[in-house]
């Protein structure tokens, strides 16, 4: 593990795509004490004495990816129910997930976060909502995995309190009592949430979905989050099955339901938001409600294609998410930029989403979802040095536009990934933790949860 203090770092000879401001074909970027202090054309106009110099010739420098939807524990259940709809997939997996414990959670989080870092992600959320009693401290386990890796982490305290006996989808054995959820969520925020500018850990409140959570818990979660000054997250409008369920059980569509219970606002972001009506998109824009677009997962489950072009045109915040790996196996954030761009074009034509727009939703759009757009998501002086340095040389240099190489093509190799100026990945290898150990922890999590021989 690197113990070197983070001083001055100078990145030179790079193509820089800062997301905000002009791109620089051959430029430099200077980092001091974990923050960007300057960037510009040519060589850095300051002394390199005692600085670490990174020669980024043949590389594209972008902000690190910001992943705004995930279920890290699903690393242990990848590749199952390969041809199922969302509701079939959920009902098939709930009984397996009910066996989860802290050891499974730790191993899956270590591997899942390591994979995200290796594919360019510097900040990730996680939405953990399965907390069977007596299985250890699951939240602490994933926080520990993120801290060891050195990724900026926004774990959500998820929850389910509406089991089958109350008309919900999950079996009663995986839901918790409403009062216990609210008490534990408040404790979790008090224990872990750090609101500071360069925070490595912020907690969000995230009841799972309208079909697994009571109206009381949805309302009380919003009250709690706003009282504590943290953000709100949930799944919404993922499938038409969900819309039918909401109309039948609540008498309105999913977005109407959110509006009714005070869940629209600029402190909320929703996973998926695939099946939106025109008036829903207007309400998202009016209220600043964000969405985490997860194109691979939505396609894998046959859920549909979110109206990203229309949301962006209306001015609503949009970020990207890989979603849990049980519904988007081994997915990378760079890959999601490509999927998002291709899917919008497949529906709306070749101008529907540009490479630069895809890069923006994968970085700054995600930062906005997490309420961190003044701190991360673009390369600007004063922002945190969360930076991906992609190799776009060799075969990839046949394309003259490096942003096109990144978004149109498969995920490029990573020369370096910096989180707050600290090197987490170098030449496609994790540097803060043992890559082999993290990969093995993910396999052990699967064996333990699926009761294979460990
Ligand atoms: Zn999800």
262 and 137 within one domain: yes
* Distance from Cα 235 to the centre of ligand 1, integer Å: 6
130 and 98 within one domain: yes
Residue of higher predicted confidence among 7 and 257: 257
Q: Is residue 446 part of a domain?
A: no
Model confidence pLDDT, tens digit, residues 244-292? 999 998 999 999 999 999 999 999 999 999 999 999 999 999 999 999 9
* Distance from Cα 261 to the centre of ligand 1, integer Å: 21
219 and 313 within one domain: yes
- Mapped onto helix, strand or coil, the DSSP state of residue 141 is helix
Model confidence pLDDT, tens digit, residues 336-359? 999 999 999 999 999 999 999 999
Q: Is residue 17 part of a domain?
A: yes
* Distance from Cα 27 to the centre of ligand 1, integer Å: 39
81 and 45 within one domain: no
138 and 32 within one domain: no
CATH of the domain at 418: 2.30.40.10
pLDDT value at position 420?
Answer: 98
**Total tally of structural domains belonging to the chain:** 2
* Distance from Cα 326 to the centre of ligand 1, integer Å: 10
Name the residue range of residue 203's domain. Answer: 65-369
Model confidence pLDDT, tens digit, residues 395-438? 999 999 999 999 999 999 999 999 999 999 999 999 999 999 99
Q: Is residue 437 part of a domain?
A: no
* Distance from Cα 69 to the centre of ligand 1, integer Å: 6
* Distance from Cα 126 to the centre of ligand 1, integer Å: 9
* Distance from Cα 70 to the centre of ligand 1, integer Å: 6
**Quick check: 4 pLDDT over 60?**
no
* Distance from Cα 413 to the centre of ligand 1, integer Å: 27
* Distance from Cα 150 to the centre of ligand 1, integer Å: 23
* Distance from Cα 292 to the centre of ligand 1, integer Å: 10
Q: Is residue 147 part of a domain?
A: yes
Beta bridge partners of 202: none
* Distance from Cα 317 to the centre of ligand 1, integer Å: 18
Q: Which percentage of the chain shows pLDDT scores above 70? A: 98
- Mapped onto helix, strand or coil, the DSSP state of residue 104 is helix
230 and 214 within one domain: yes
* Distance from Cα 140 to the centre of ligand 1, integer Å: 20
Domain boundary among 320, 351, 369: 369
* Distance from Cα 175 to the centre of ligand 1, integer Å: 17
CATH of the domain at 274: 3.20.20.140
Q: Over the chain, what is the mean pLDDT?
A: 95
d(CA 363, CA 333): 10
Domain boundary among 351, 369, 387: 369
d(CA 139, CA 142): 6
Secondary structure in 3-state letters for 367-436: HHHCCCCCCCCCCCCCCECCEEEEECCHHHHHCCCHHHHHHHCCCCCEEEEEECCEEEEECCEECCCCHH
Q: Is residue 25 part of a domain?
A: yes
Q: Is residue 442 part of a domain?
A: no
* Distance from Cα 207 to the centre of ligand 1, integer Å: 11
246 and 183 within one domain: yes
198 and 240 within one domain: yes
Domain boundary among 337, 369, 401: 369
Query: What letter would DSSP give residue 201?
Result: B
pLDDT value at position 50?
Answer: 82
218 and 155 within one domain: yes
258 and 184 within one domain: yes
* Distance from Cα 403 to the centre of ligand 1, integer Å: 28
pLDDT value at position 323?
Answer: 96
Q: Is residue 454 part of a domain?
A: no
Ligand 1 (single-atom ion) residues, CB below 5 Å: 271, 323
411 and 330 within one domain: no
pLDDT value at position 3?
Answer: 43
Q: How far, in Å, are 86, 387, 446 from residue 331 at the CA level?
A: 18, 20, 17
Beta bridge partners of 75: none
Structure tokens belonging to residue 262 = 């005070």
* Distance from Cα 336 to the centre of ligand 1, integer Å: 15
Model confidence pLDDT, tens digit, residues 58-77? 999 999 999 999 999 999 99
* Distance from Cα 19 to the centre of ligand 1, integer Å: 27
Model confidence pLDDT, tens digit, residues 381-400? 999 999 999 999 999 999 99
Q: Is residue 313 part of a domain?
A: yes
**Quick check: 1 pLDDT over 60?**
no
Q: pTM higher than 0.95 for the full model?
A: yes
* Distance from Cα 209 to the centre of ligand 1, integer Å: 9
34 and 80 within one domain: no
* Distance from Cα 9 to the centre of ligand 1, integer Å: 37
Model confidence pLDDT, tens digit, residues 121-158? 999 999 999 998 899 999 999 999 999 999 999 999 99
* Distance from Cα 13 to the centre of ligand 1, integer Å: 39
* Distance from Cα 272 to the centre of ligand 1, integer Å: 8
């Amino acid at each position: 593990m690197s113990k070197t203090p983070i001083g001055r770092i100078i990145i030179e000879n790079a193509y820089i795509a800062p997301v905000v401001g002009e791109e620089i074909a051959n430029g430099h970027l200077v980092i001091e004490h974990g923050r960007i202090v300057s960037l510009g054309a040519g060589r850095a106009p300051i002394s390199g004495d005692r600085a670490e110099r990174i020669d980024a010739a043949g590389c594209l420098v972008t902000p690190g990816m910001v992943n705004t939807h995930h279920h890290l524990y699903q690393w242990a259940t990848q590749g199952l129910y390969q041809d199922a709809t969302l509701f079939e997939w959920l009902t098939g997996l709930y009984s397996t997930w009910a066996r989860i414990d802290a050891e499974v959670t730790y191993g899956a989080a270590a591997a899942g976060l390591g994979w995200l870092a290796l594919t360019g992600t510097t900040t990730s959320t996680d939405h953990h909502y399965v907390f069977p009693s007596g299985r250890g401290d699951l939240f602490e386990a994933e926080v520990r995995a993120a801290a060891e890796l050195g990724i900026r982490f926004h774990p959500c305290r998820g929850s389910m309190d509406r089991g089958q006996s109350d008309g919900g989808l999950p079996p009663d054995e995986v839901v918790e009592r409403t009062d216990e959820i609210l008490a534990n969520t408040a404790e979790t925020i008090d224990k872990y949430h750090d609101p500071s500018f360069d925070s490595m850990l912020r907690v969000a409140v995230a009841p799972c979905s309208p079909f697994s959570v009571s109206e009381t818990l949805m309302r009380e979660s919003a009250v709690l989050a706003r009282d504590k000054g943290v953000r709100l997250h949930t799944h919404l409008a993922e499938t038409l099955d969900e819309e039918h369920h909401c109309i039948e059980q609540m008498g309105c569509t999913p977005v109407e339901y959110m509006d009714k219970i005070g869940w629209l606002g600029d402190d909320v972001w929703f996973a998926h938001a695939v099946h939106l009506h025109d008036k829903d998109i207007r309400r998202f824009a009016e209220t600043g409600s964000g969405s985490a677009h997860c194109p691979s997962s939505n396609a894998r489950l046959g859920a549909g294609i979110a109206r990203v072009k229309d949301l962006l045109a209306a001015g609503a915040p949009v970020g990207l998410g890989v979603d849990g790996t049980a519904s988007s196996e081994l997915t990378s954030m760079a890959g999601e930029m490509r999927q998002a761009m291709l899917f919008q074009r497949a529906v709306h034509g070749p101008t529907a989403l540009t490479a630069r727009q895809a890069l923006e939703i994968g970085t700054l759009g995600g930062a906005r979802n997490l309420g961190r757009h003044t701190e991360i998501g673009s390369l600007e002086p004063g922002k945190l040095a969360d930076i991906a340095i992609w190799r776009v040389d060799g075969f990839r240099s046949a394309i003259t536009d490096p942003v096109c190489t990144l978004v149109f093509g498969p995920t490029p190799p990573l020369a370096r990934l910096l989180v707050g100026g600290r090197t987490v990945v170098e030449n496609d290898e994790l540097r803060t933790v043992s890559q082999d150990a993290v990969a093995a922890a993910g396999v052990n999590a699967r064996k333990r949860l699926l009761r294979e021989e460990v």
